[in-house]
Amino acid sequence: MFAVMIILLVLSVLIGWFTLPRWLPLIASHWLPQGMTLSLTQPKWEKDILLLDHLSLQIQECELLRISGLSAGYSRNKQGTERYWDLHIAEVYSQSQCLSQLPATNTQPAPLSISVSEILSSIPAIKLVIDHFVPAPWQEFAGKLKFDSSRQGHRIEGQLSGSQYSEPLLMELEWQGQNGKFTVTQLNTHTQPKADNVHEKNEPQLWAELPWSFSQSQFVIRNGKWRWISAAQPLSGGVDLTLEQWKKGFNGMKVSGRVNLLTQNEFGKGNVVLSIKPTPISLTNAHIPLQLTGQMNRGQMIITMSLPAIVTGSLATPKITFQPGSLFRGWGKVSENFTVKEARLPLAGTYLTRNGFTGRLQAIVTAKESYWGTFRLHFDGYAEDFIPDQGNWNWRYWGNGDLPPLKAKWDISGKGSWKQSQITVNALNTGFDTIEYGLVQMKAPRLQLMKPLVWERSVTKPALMGDLQLSALRTDFRSGGFLPPVEFRATLTG
């Protein structure tokens, strides 16, 4: 009888092992959010190492997480004093936008009965290496990721390296009791020669330093700092963030905070502040009012903004709707010969997603070119998922200006569109009071479009084409002659 029980037990274990890809997803579904499913291939056991070819989490038809080439073993360190989990993964690919497909729910989760210190202390000793980590849609942060935690101290360390970084990024989480700090630095492995052929390593560059603390009801980041080093202009700022009732999870907590951006150019310092008043957040059905105000100085330009907005929808694919009073303004030198006196971009009623702007989109520009004079143009139309060279923007336009080389004042009106990388002017009507150039004077000339003016901005196949017609009531010559009403047509190609 005992032998039969042993045989049945062994058979049960074997059956459970070889059918694991079938029953484990069913059990996991009781803990996973509604709509999320787990799938995996048959694991293998070789030389005390667990091997798994494929594991994925899906939300409906969208693959949230894909893990390929997983191996896991339980090893000892070189001294033999500590054991740790040795994990190696060939590739991890995640798509955060899949979270938007989770069904919306107003159900409040049960508060956690565990503290942050208990959570951190329960992390086992792990050495994890991911050869290729891709967090879509932020592919710029893709690379090789290393993760290391030790039981010897309250510290977790990670390292990210990739072709887009000149040096690896080091991420460190340290804590003591209810306080801690998270830092991100860029390592600098290059050395600089000093006197007597002595080489000295450069100091690592700090990207972020976020001191944090927590209590039973609050998680707080206070006096945090961040920096972004770029060739164009270094950026920096501060971070203050409070999560109320953090134990209730995403659908139960409130968020408030302030993040600022500091810039500087020859006109002085600029400061842009993003502020959020205490408001509930939801992972799938957010409604977060925020305010973006301040001034940004870049190059020889100054940009100011006052943008009250509301973030709605899934936090993975948020929709930002701009409220009444939302306005961008800018002025300054674009080049030595071209100066923007004022550019205005009213955004009230428009909304922004990852794909671009949608809604009524206007742009009013007053500018001066050192040779061609001053002009003012107003564009007004409807945009759909628009950012430059992506999406669509159909507009009407009008304006006026002066043309010193031809001693002329002019006005203009028409309509056009910007679709993907192609700008098209479908209608153009330009009038001048007069045109004088050399020995010629044209009275009441008008410039009209006979065929649409098309500018293809594609890098691979740029092109410009269109037909124009210039007409004048009378053309006088200083020698005494004149021409009756005349029309000139020109074809543009290039």
pLDDT in tens, 10-61: 555 556 556 677 777 887 777 788 888 888 888 888 888 888 899 998 888 8
Distances (CA, A) of 169 to 146, 205, 484: 10, 9, 74
Quick check: is 441 in a domain? yes
Quick check: is 481 in a domain? yes
Q: Which of 65-79, 259-273, 472-486 has the lowest mean pLDDT?
A: 472-486
Instruction: Please check whether residue 1 is in contact with residue 7, taking contact to mean a CB–CB distance below 8 angstroms.
Output: no
Instruction: Please check whether residue 358 is in contact with residue 386, taking contact to mean a CB–CB distance below 8 angstroms.
Output: yes
Range of the domain at 420: 382-493
> Quick one: pLDDT at residue 107?
58
> Quick one: pLDDT at residue 199?
46
Distances (CA, A) of 482 to 405, 440, 442, 443, 477: 21, 9, 10, 11, 6
Question: The tokens of 334 are what?
Answer: 């674009």
- pTM of the entire structure? 0.78
Quick check: is 405 in a domain? yes
Q: What is the pLDDT of residues 304-330, one digit of tens each?
A: 999 999 999 888 788 999 999 999 999
Quick check: is 480 in a domain? yes
Q: Name the average pLDDT for the chain.
A: 84
Question: For the CA atoms of the chain, what is the radius of gyration?
Answer: 32
> Quick one: pLDDT at residue 492?
84
Q: What is the pLDDT of residues 198-243, one digit of tens each?
A: 445 567 788 999 999 988 888 899 999 999 876 677 889 999 999 9
Task: State the pLDDT confidence band at 196, using cuts at 50, 70 and 90.
Answer: low
Q: What is the pLDDT of residues 423-462, one digit of tens each?
A: 999 998 888 888 887 787 888 888 888 899 999 988 888 8
Quick check: is 343 in a domain? no
The count of structural domains within the chain is 1
Quick check: is 453 in a domain? yes
Q: Which amino acid is at 211?
A: P
> Quick one: pLDDT at residue 424?
93
Question: The tokens of 40 are what?
Answer: 């995996």
Give dist(CA 416, CA 342) in Å, integer: 22
Quick check: is 355 in a domain? no
- CB contact set of 177 (below 8 Å; sequence gap of 6+): 117
Phi, then psi, of 282 in degrees rounded to 5: -140, 140
Mean pLDDT of 64-83: 83
Q: Which amino acid is at 473?
A: L
Counting residues of the chain whose pLDDT is more than 90, the rounded percentage is: 35
For residues 81 and 69, which has the higher predicted lDDT (pLDDT)?
69
